[in-house]
Amino acid sequence: MRSLGELWVLCDGHAEMTGGIPATTLMTLGYDPQKKRFIGTFIGSMMTHMWVYEGELDETEQVLTLSTVGPDFSNTGKMGNYKDVIEFKSDDHRVLSSHFQGEDGKWHGFMTGNYRRKK
């Protein structure tokens, strides 16, 4: 993670996908004072969709929930509801978990990643 001026945060991710395929991701996050909500995007080298976020912090200001819409992984050609949840574990550690909303209306987790500050 790194800042872009005083308004934006950039989160670079590097991982190995199933089958040993390398993946690179980039998340942008900022705060929109007019909407009074956090906004951002997410792109990855393994996908063609740009995810556009909007969300808010919980009361403790330790959990940021970002909502988005994207391709439904279960129904080709349809869009679905997703949310990414970022937990602020420490100044040097963030945990990102991704969830999709099933046809039953319940949220199902499908990915968790740890972001750590380079020292």
What is the torsional sign of CA 108, 70, 112, 61?
Answer: negative
Show pLDDT as tens, one digit a residue, over the chain (119 residues): 788 888 999 988 888 888 888 999 999 999 999 999 999 999 999 889 999 999 999 999 999 999 999 999 888 899 999 999 999 999 899 899 999 999 899 999 998 988 787 76
Among candidate residues 95, 37, 91, the one with its CA nearest the CA of residue 66:
37
Among candidate residues 71, 74, 29, 73, the one with its CA nearest the CA of residue 49:
71
Integer Rg of the chain from CA: 15
Number of domains making up the chain: 1
Secondary structure class of 75 (helix, strand, coil): coil
pLDDT of residue 15: 82
φ, ψ at 53 (rounded to 5°): -105, 155
pLDDT of residue 75: 85
Domain span including residue 7: 2-116
Kindly report the CATH number assigned to the domain that includes residue 40. Answer: 2.40.160
Secondary structure class of 39 (helix, strand, coil): strand
With a CB cutoff of 8 Å and minimum separation 6, the contacts of 117 are 1, 91, 92, 93
